[in-house]
Amino acid sequence: MTAEAESNPSVSKNKSFDPEEYRMSIGDHLEDLRWRLMLGLLGFVVALAVCLFYGNTVVAFFCRPLLMALKANGLPPTTYDRQLGGSFMVYMQISLISAASIASPWLVYQLWMFVALGLYRHERKWVTRYAPLSISLLIAGMLFVYFLVLPWTIQFFVGWTTDVPIPVYYSGKTVVHPTTRPANIPFFDGDLDPKTLKNGDLYYNSLEGKLNFMVNGVIKSIPFAPKSLVVPQYDLGDYIDLVVMMLLTFGLAFQLPLVIAAILKIGIVEAAALRKARRYVYFVLLLVAAVITPGDVITATIALMFPLIGLYEFGIILGTKGKKAEPEPVEAAENPHD
């Protein structure tokens, strides 16, 4: 609502209100923009403070699919940092991304309050109608990749890496010494209380897959690697970049219904043409799923192709909703006198 409309209540209650008759000056627009930016920045700063406090917890939540896959393959649930300050940069990156995600509704609201001043009523109606659906599809895509696609993808790659065997000609021979016996190390499902340990005590943490021993009052750990040609060691920063990329990719891919609905509403193509081209569109969606989804064929087809097909069909339904079916052409009756 413009400044003049706000000062005149009768204008705001009039349904025939014409925005062209009540315009804000450039100074009023700039002042409103400055105020909206300040409010949006304030909301982002508050969200960032909360995310910085819980930053390490959020990083662990991002790493959960990887740690679960490592544990399932008998590997220690551990990531590595090969750069000085790399883990700190990941902490800041995740905190900023989480803060932007949490504050995004508030930021979008402030942006909308500014942009809505320059829109007509019917234009505001389209935005308010489809904006919640767009946000819901974005969240659904991110949840889909975190709970389904990402575990499948990580499990495939971790399993593939640990299954690479050591060449036979390089493997060592078993040596039997009947007069000696290997040392017996106790197993525990978790860490022991450091207060109960003495200097030099040794035990195996079966939950983490690490050999722990007490050295001068501090527990030291040695992670175990699989007996394979390739030992997986995943960098924390590279893994976080992969997760963020997949979250954004799937979140944007789930906007497909809105894209289909938009081109139908505008009239670029007809719904009949989209239905007729299904077999070609499905093939393209298969290629897209195979490209943006790393992993095996099952992951590419099931995890993304079928949801994209459903979203494509939903977009056609969404774009044709409210439209009257076009009447079929009626052939003129033949004149018997012709």
Which tops the pLDDT comparison, 99 or 189?
Answer: 99
Confidence band, pLDDT 50/70/90 cuts, at residue 178: low
Edge-first strand listing for the sheet containing 202-205: 187-188, 202-205, 210-215, 218-223
Angle, CA of 173, 176 and 182, to the nearest 5°: 110
Over residues 75-79, the mean pLDDT reads: 85
Q: Is residue 189 over pLDDT 70?
A: yes
- Other CB atoms within 10 Å distance of the CB of residue 253: 21
Separation of alpha carbons 234 and 245, rounded Å = 17
Over residues 180-200, the mean pLDDT reads: 80
Q: What percent of the chain has pLDDT over 70?
A: 80
Q: What pTM value is reported for the model?
A: 0.73
pLDDT of amino acid 65: 92
pLDDT of amino acid 318: 87
Confidence band, pLDDT 50/70/90 cuts, at residue 7: very low
pLDDT of amino acid 239: 92
pLDDT tens digit sequence for 302-325: 667 888 889 989 988 988 876 655
Q: Is residue 221 over pLDDT 90?
A: no
pLDDT tens digit sequence for 251-266: 888 888 988 988 888 8
Q: How far is CA 313 from CA 28, 47, 92, 260, 284, in A?
A: 45, 37, 40, 9, 14
Q: Is residue 14 over pLDDT 70?
A: no
In sequence order, which residues have a C-beta less than 8 Å from that of residue 240 and are 6 or more positions away?
59, 62, 63, 90, 93, 94
Over residues 20-40, the mean pLDDT reads: 77
Q: Which two tokens stand for residue 48?
A: 């960032």
Separation of alpha carbons 18 and 29, rounded Å = 18
Amino acid at 35: W
Strand partners, 221: 212
Over residues 177-190, the mean pLDDT reads: 75
Over residues 70-82, the mean pLDDT reads: 85
Amino acid at 325: A
- Write down the mean pLDDT value for the chain: 79
